[in-house]
Structure 1
Amino acid sequence: MGAGKAAGDACTGDLCIGAVVPHTGRLAALGDPLSYVIGRLGSRLPAVADGARRRRLRIVCRDSRSDPAVARRVTRELAERDGVRLVVTMAGTKVLPAVADACEELGVPCLSTTFPWQAYVYGRGATRKRPFGWTYHFAWGLDDIADVFAEMWERIGPGRKVGCLWNDDLQGRLLRDGDHGFVPTAAGRGHTLVDPGGYREAAGDLSAHVDRFRDRGCEIVTSAATAEDLALFHRQARERGLRPRLVTCSRWLAYPRGGGIASALGGAGVATLVYWSPRHPYRSSLDGTSARALADAYEQQTGRPWLQPLGLAHALLEVAAHALATAEDPTDRRSVADAIGRTRLPTMAGTLDWTNGPTPNVALIPLIGGQWQQGRNRPHELALVTHTRLPQVPLDADLTPAY
């Protein structure tokens, strides 16, 4: 099916938003924020004016099973069988691009988040001058991660020697790219990056990386490792005499799951990026709910700690509803895609602006720095330790090196 009106409309007069979520499989925990927000907002989305009539908004969910091939298939089902007007998705370095690519091929607007924009754009074959036609994203850049991490490294001292624990997959390749993102930004701030090369996930042995960092005198290690691989690295580092004063990690630490992993990294001085927290001064464009209220409601309903992606999941549905409400024809997919492209909207994730991004398909989110520290209410809590990009977010701790 191509662009324009939705075919095979199973929504019977409603305007349907498709959601591809990893309910099952290895990414199931990453799907939790979007599942929660869909349950919270699904029945409360405002109706949309379509000429003289008002159409109800409805969300149709499909399980990606954490598999890119399944994600492609269910995206096609949403487009062709269910007649959705746009698709939302988040999480998964292979699953998210699979959904976005399927939408691009089918001529269906797609909105996604939680993936550095350079990976989203360059990893899928677009350029700034040749952007996508149907797929839109909001997140941060690899250069933004580098700036936040470098600021934390510089709390230890200028011009640090930093060991790079990066995999051999798309994420690692983009992090070490000399033109886009992390490496030129970090090096431009005077830091020396020591990169022994990529490793394959899941790692069975990271001793070669440990030895290289130790022999080169790296006081800091930066990583985009999974929880399990970072714990393996930390254990082997202790065994082989490497004691980094600080570890920065940009991946799993947004999801505070697994107390065992956190305990295994205790004392490592692990810091991470922060893109959303209950302390952020953001509110929903739908009903004015604050970031604090959303986090509290999640914890009360689930019994689990709040998650950073919670605010971004909420913003996905805000932007989807806004695009359908402002499209010249909310039943026409091209019209809905164009509406996303001209959106500038204050949301639970901050003000998202597709009119002023690094590409026409990307809206940026500012990052600040956080560190996992001994908590008052839990063994490990995320403390906000730097806020240069967003000074209106209050800090609640100082960065604490491991020694």
Structure 2
Amino acid sequence: MPTRRDVLKVSAAGALSFAAFPMPAIAQSRTIKLGYVSPRSGPLALFGQADEFVLGTVKSALDKGLQIGGKVFPVEIVSKDTQSNSNRAAEVTSELILSDKVDLVLVSSAPETVNPVSDQCELNGTPCISTVAPWQAWMFNRGSNPKTGFESTFHFFWGLEDIMSVFANMWDTVTTNRKVGGLFPNDEDGRAWSDDKNGIPALLGPRNYGVVPSGFYRNLGDDFSAVIAKFKDGGCEIVSGAPLPPDFTTFWTQARQQGFRPKAASIAKAILFPAAVEALGDAGHNLSSEIWWSPFHPFRSSLSGLSAGEYAAAYSLATGKQWTQPIGFAHALFEVAADVLKRAGEPGDAGAIIAAISDTSLDTIVGKVDWKTSAIKNVAKTPLVGGQWRRTPNGPHAYDLVITSNQTAPEIPAGADFEELTY
């Protein structure tokens, strides 16, 4: 396997190359086609910011093909941009299935993306692996449940029960009145988060936190005054939810202008990315979020052997940008795909691929992906910790994301204690 220095050296030259498993030369074999769907433009574009880098490294890792049953099969990746639009996500997936005739669809980033893609695959009996959406939003919003699951669509990520444990563990370390303002957009995430049976009101109740719902506000709006007034009237000292990045920027700016100053703001989705926090200026300091992948996660890629830290460093050197969480999960999709296809036998049999996915238990750069022993049908849960964005005036970046809570995954080291917001 290459050393970290080797990877960074080649990366700096603009052609990062991973060592694949030793294989014979590719004969005239059928090409395996992988479809990859993600939002690379529009309001969710930050989720797809690292896609070009990840696809480049994966193509290098698979440039000699996949060895299956003594034969070597070339691999082609067909990528599609959803433009952050659910209808387009369904359309491009239909193209992948009917026109490109892919063997397996991979999809990442938010229910607005993974749900319509998964639905198209389920409708056509096409194997599909998705990630980067709470499993409840992926499963319940598509009309199924943990016992029934689906036929051809599979998902790996954490659930709302995990993120609420992470958030509550952080909130427990500061003194509050335990009233949480719930930011619930009128979308797949908002409906999943607000659900009285499976969402955060039900999950936070046993931890003695009460939720004041915002009501379903319209995405990409420009006035959060009504929501802010509701949280102030409810005495909320904590804010949580899963808004779009531009919506949280608007909300947080207006909240400060209107004198709403909670002691903690733990926000999923919107502040996962350095660029989104930098847009807030000094107001981003000590905002908290879930952390599903970081350079500090003690995991390695099954494709390249690189650690999470080495892969994050390679990304920064190749792009000049700060690491971002979707890097690991986009890469892990292809790790799982390669493992599944090798175990499924000669390509062309969708049923064999589906069976191989069901039988997966693989150590990846994001941790173990295990459908084989999962208690939730079609879902493999991955570890989750929490952290805060800390202003770093003298550092290479405006903010660093620091792990401040690892009770839910002690194998991932914490770097600091959780702190109350200051104004």
| TM-score of the superposed pair, with normalisation by structure 2 | 0.87
Distance of aligned partners of 1:12 and 1:338 in 2 relative to their CA distance in 1, 3 Å threshold: same
Q: Does 1:169 align with 2:181?
A: no
1:259 positional shift = 5.8
User: What is the CA–CA distance in structure 2 between the aligned matches of 1:200 and 1:336, rounded to whole Å?
Assistant: 40
Aligned-pair CA distance for 1:155: 1.0
Q: 2:85 aligns with which of 67, 86, 91?
A: 67
Q: What secondary structure does 1:208 align onto?
A: helix
Equivalent residue in structure 1 for 2:311, among 278, 283, 294 = 294
Is residue 2:236 matched to residue 1:207? Answer: no
230, 242, 245: which one pairs with 2:248?
A: 230
Please point out which of 34, 46, 51 is paired with 1:29.
46
- 1:116 matched to 2:131? The reply is no
C-alpha distance in structure 2 between counterparts of 1:80 and 1:236, whole Å: 47
The residue type paired with residue 217 of structure 1 is G
**1:300-320 deviation digits (Å, cap 9, x = unpaired):** 001111011111111100000
Contact 1:262–1:380 under 8 Å retained in 2: no
Name the CA shift for 1:64/1:236 in 2 (closer, same or farther; >3 Å): closer
| 181 and 195 in structure 1: CA distance in 2 versus 1, 3 angstrom threshold | closer
The Cα of 1:251 is off from its aligned counterpart by 1.0
- C-alpha RMSD over aligned residues: 2.0
Give the direction of change, closer, same or farther, for the CA distance of 1:171–1:39 in structure 2 (3 Å limit): same
8 Å contact from structure 1 (residues 220, 247) kept in 2? yes
Aligned to 2:9: none
- 1:397 equivalenced with 2:396 (yes/no): no
Q: Which residue of structure 2 lines up, in the alignment, with residue 322 of structure 1?
A: 339
CA distance in 1, matches of 2:245, 2:79: 28
The 3-state SS of whatever aligns with 1:273 is strand
Q: Measure, in 2, the Cα distance between the counterparts of 1:103 and 1:335.
A: 15
Q: Match of 2:407? A: 388
1:246 to 2:264 alignment: yes
Give unmatched runs, 5+ long, in structure 1: 1-10
Aligned length: 392
Q: Indicate if the aligned counterparts of 1:329 and 1:335 stay in contact, CA closer than 8 A.
A: no
Which residue does the alignment assign to 2:61? 44
Alignment of structure 1 residues 70-219 onto 2, 5 Å = 70-157=88-175, 160-219=178-237
Q: Can you give the 5+ residue segments of structure 2 that lack an aligned partner in the other structure?
A: 1-27
CA contact (8 A) 2:316 2:323 kept: yes
The SS at the match of 1:370 is strand
Q: How does 1:345-364 map to 2 (within 5 A)?
A: 345-364=362-381
CA distance in 2, matches of 1:380, 1:61: 31
Q: Percent identity?
A: 37
CA offset at residue 211 of structure 1?
2.0
CA 1:56–1:397 in structure 2 vs 1: closer, same or farther (change >3 Å)? Answer: same
How far did residue 43 of structure 1 move? 3.0
> What are the superposed Cα offsets for residues 92-131 of structure 1, whole Å, 9 maximum, x if unpaired?
4322211111111111111110000001001111122321
Letter in 1 for 2:405: T
Amino acid at match of 2:411: Q
Deviations 1:25-81 (A, max 9, x none): 443332223332111111322633444422122212233333333322322222233
C-alpha distance in 1, partners of 2:197/2:293?
A: 28
SS where residue 42 of structure 1 aligns? helix
Q: 1:65 to 1:226 in 2, by over 3 A?
A: closer
Give CA-to-partner distance per residue, 1:341-382, whole Å, 9 cap, x none: 110000001011112334221100121111011123322111
Deviation larger for 75-84 or 302-311:
75-84
Structure 1 pair 244–328 and aligned structure 2 pair: CA distance change class (3 A): same
The residue aligned with 1:5 is none
Change (3 A) 1:196 1:16: closer
Deviates more, 1:146-155 or 1:159-168: 159-168
Task: Give the secondary-structure state (helix, strand or coil) at the position aligned to 2:93.
Answer: helix
Do the aligned residues in 2 keep the contact of 1:228 with 1:261 (CA within 8 Å)? no
One-letter amino acid matched to 1:20: V
Distance of aligned partners of 1:34 and 1:137 in 2 relative to their CA distance in 1, 3 Å threshold: farther
TM-score by length of 1: 0.91
Report what 1:377 is aligned to: 396
Contact 2:44 2:244 in 1 (8 A): no
2: distance between equivalents of 1:124 and 1:394?
35
